C-alpha cells in the first residue's frame, strides 16, 4: 500500500483499475445548481443513476409528451466524465404518470403504452446505458407475494416477461436487472425473488442480474454473502443498487463509526462475492431522500451536508485500497 495513494486517490481511481463500478444516484437540477455537488460526483464515481429523471411519471407527464431534459443532462454528464450509466427504472408502481395511473385505458391499451414507453426510453439511450432496472419492486413490501400493483392489476404477471423482452429488443447489449428492496438477506422475499428470476430465465426471458437496493439501518442483512451466492449460482449477476445506511437524527459520532463499519462490511462483501457494481442512493447528506421518507432518520451517505467525507467514506476508501487487483 502506498500512503500517497490513500491520501490522494478518489474512490473511482481505486475502483476503475479493478473493473469495479462505484456509483451514486444523481439529481439533474442539483447537478445544474451546485458546483460542489458536480465536482464531487465526477471525481469520486465511475457510474451514475438518475434518482428520478428516468421514471415514467417525471419523464412523461402527458400522453406521448416526453421531457428528456433531465435524463439527457445526466447521460451527457456521465459521458463527459467517463462514467457508466445505470437506467432506473422501466416498470414500477410508483411515480407513474397521472394520466395512466388514474386513466381509463383498457388492459390492451396499457400493454401497448408500456411497450412503447420501453421502446422509447431504452431506444433513446441505446448503447449509452450499460444496465437497466427493468422491473422495480414487483414483490409486496415484505414478500413473498407479487405486489398487487397497477401493472399486475392491468396486465397480470405476464408483464414481467414482456418488460424484459421489450427492453432487450430495444437495446440487445444492455444488462437487464430485476431490482428490489428487502431481498438482501436470506428471507422469504429473497427466496421468492430467486424463484421468479429463475423461472423467467428458464423460460428464455432475457434477465441477467438482480439488484439488491440495500436501504438499511446500521445492521447487516441476514447472511448476505450466502444470499448473494445463491443468486449467482442460479446464473445471475448481483449488484448493490441503492445503498444507504440510515442513522437516527441528530447524528452522534458513535453512530457515524457504526455506519462506517457497515459501509466497510458491505463493500468487502461485494468484492469478495463477485459483485462489481456498488451504487449508493446519492453521495452527500446535502441531497438524500432519507430525511424526507423516514421520520427522524438521516445522515445516510458517505459525505456530509458540507460535502466533507465522513467515516463511511474513509471505510469505502480503505476497502478499495486494500482489495487485490482483479485480473
Number of residues forming the site for ligand XIL (CB under 6 A): 6
Residue where the block lists cell 486517490: 9
- Out of 44, 51, 137, 184, the active site residue is 137
Distance CA 233, CA 231 (A): 5
Residue 311 DSSP label: H
Q: How far is the CB of 136 from ligand XIL (least distance, A)?
A: 5
Report the DSSP beta bridge partners of residue 30: none
Q: Does 285 sit near ligand XIL (CB under 6 A)?
A: no
Backbone angles phi, psi at 248, to 5 degrees: -65, 140
Cβ atoms of 270 and 242 within 8 Å: the answer is: no
Q: Does 246 sit near ligand XIL (CB under 6 A)?
A: no
Cβ count near 203 (within 10 Å)? 9
**Cα-atom radius of gyration of the chain, to the nearest Å?**
19
Q: How far is the CB of 271 from ligand XIL (least distance, A)?
A: 23
Q: Which of 249, 250, 260 is nearest to 315 (CA)?
A: 260
Cβ atoms of 266 and 240 within 8 Å: the answer is: yes
Distance CA 146, CA 94 (A): 15
Q: Compare residues 278 and 317 and give the one whose CB is closer to ligand XIL.
A: 278
Q: Is 137 considered catalytic here?
A: yes
Binding to ligand XIL, residues 191-220 (CB under 6 A):
213
Interface with ligand XIL (CB under 6 A), residue from 14, 20, 51, 129? 51
- Angle separating helix axes 224-233 and 253-272, nearest 10 degrees: 30
Q: How far is the CB of 291 from ligand XIL (least distance, A)?
A: 11
Cβ atoms of 303 and 309 within 8 Å: the answer is: yes
Q: Does 184 sit near ligand XIL (CB under 6 A)?
A: no
Binding to ligand XIL, residues 216-245 (CB under 6 A):
242
Interface with ligand XIL (CB under 6 A), residue from 66, 68, 162, 289? 289
Binding mask 161-180 for ligand XIL (x = CB under 6 A): --------------------
Binding mask 119-138 for ligand XIL (x = CB under 6 A): -----------------x--
Q: What residues are annotated to the active site?
A: 137, 242
Binding site for ligand XIL (CB under 6 A): 51-52, 136, 213, 242, 289
Amino acid at each position: 500500500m502506498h500512503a500517497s495513494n490513500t491520501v490522494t486517490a478518489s474512490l473511482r481511481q481505486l475502483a476503475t483499475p479493478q473493473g469495479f463500478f462505484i456509483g451514486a444516484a444523481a439529481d439533474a437540477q442539483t447537478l445544474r445548481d451546485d458546483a460542489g455537488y458536480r465536482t464531487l460526483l465526477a471525481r469520486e464515481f465511475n457510474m451514475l443513476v438518475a434518482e428520478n429523471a428516468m421514471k415514467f411519471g417525471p419523464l412523461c407527464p402527458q400522453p406521448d409528451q416526453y421531457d428528456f431534459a433531465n435524463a439527457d443532462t445526466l447521460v451527457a454528464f456521465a459521458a463527459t466524465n467517463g462514467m457508466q450509466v445505470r437506467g432506473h427504472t422501466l416498470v414500477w408502481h410508483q411515480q407513474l404518470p397521472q394520466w395512466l395511473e388514474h386513466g381509463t385505458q383498457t388492459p390492451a391499451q396499457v400493454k401497448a403504452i408500456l411497450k412503447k414507453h420501453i421502446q422509447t426510453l431504452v431506444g433513446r439511450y441505446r448503447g449509452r446505458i450499460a444496465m437497466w432496472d427493468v422491473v422495480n419492486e414487483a414483490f409486496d413490501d415484505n414478500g413473498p407475494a407479487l405486489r398487487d400493483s397497477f401493472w399486475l392489476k392491468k396486465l397480470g404477471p405476464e408483464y414481467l416477461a414482456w418488460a424484459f423482452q421489450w427492453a432487450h429488443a430495444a437495446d440487445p447489449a444492455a444488462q437487464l436487472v430485476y431490482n428490489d428492496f428487502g431481498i438482501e438477506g436470506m428471507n422469504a422475499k429473497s427466496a421468492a425473488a430467486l424463484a421468479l428470476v429463475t423461472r423467467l430465465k428458464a423460460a428464455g426471458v432475457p434477465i441477467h442480474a438482480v439488484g439488491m437496493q440495500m436501504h438499511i439501518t446500521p445492521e447487516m442483512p441476514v447472511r448476505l454473502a450466502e444470499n448473494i451466492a445463491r443468486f449467482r449460482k442460479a446464473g445471475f449477476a448481483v449488484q448493490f443498487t441503492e445503498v444507504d445506511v440510515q442513522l437516527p437524527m441528530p447524528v452522534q459520532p458513535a453512530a457515524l463509526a457504526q455506519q462506517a463499519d457497515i459501509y466497510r462490511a458491505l463493500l468487502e462483501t461485494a468484492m469478495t462475492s463477485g459483485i462489481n457494481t456498488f451504487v449508493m442512493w446519492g453521495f452527500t447528506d446535502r441531497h438524500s431522500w432519507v430525511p424526507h421518507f423516514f421520520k427522524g432518520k438521516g445522515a445516510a451517505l458517505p459525505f456530509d451536508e458540507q460535502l466533507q467525507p465522513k467515516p463511511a467514506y474513509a471505510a469505502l476508501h480503505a476497502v478499495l485500497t486494500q482489495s487485490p487487483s482483479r485480473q
